[in-house]
């Protein structure tokens, strides 16, 4: 399989998945996308976690990570006001932090 870029993967997603929310909540058929294995590597937000919500998907064969961001409210659930523009290309990064216990 030829490795695709973030932009190329986004074109496939927009063509084959109707709404960004379907992508965000893994409500799609991985085989129909034809992009190989898609893993959710992180998901943050929802009930009792404030208004921030996001999910990071890893397209394994292409080594591309896509973060899709939404806005969570207890009354409406998660909304993606920016549509497909809610998605951006990200990379894993290690950070060192100091905590005091």
Is pLDDT of 98 > 90? yes
| Per-residue pLDDT band at 69 (split at 50, 70, 90) | very high
- pLDDT recorded at residue 50: 63
Say how many C-beta atoms besides its own lie within 10 A of residue 98's C-beta: 4
pLDDT at position 78: 87
pTM: 0.88
Phi and psi based region of residue 45 (left: phi greater than 0; alpha: psi -120 to 50; beta: remaining): left
**Tell me: the pLDDT tens digits for 23-35?**
999 999 999 999 9
């Amino acid at each position: 399989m030829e490795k695709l870029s973030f932009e190329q993967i986004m074109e496939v997603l927009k063509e084959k998945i109707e709404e960004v929310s379907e992508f965000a909540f893994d409500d799609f058929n991985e085989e129909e996308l034809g992009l190989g294995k898609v893993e959710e590597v992180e998901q943050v937000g929802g009930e009792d976690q404030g208004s921030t919500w996001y999910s990071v998907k890893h397209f394994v064969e292409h080594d591309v990570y896509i973060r899709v961001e939404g806005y969570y409210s207890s009354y409406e659930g998660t909304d993606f006001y920016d549509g497909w523009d809610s998605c951006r290309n990200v990379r894993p990064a290690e950070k060192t932090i100091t905590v005091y216990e």
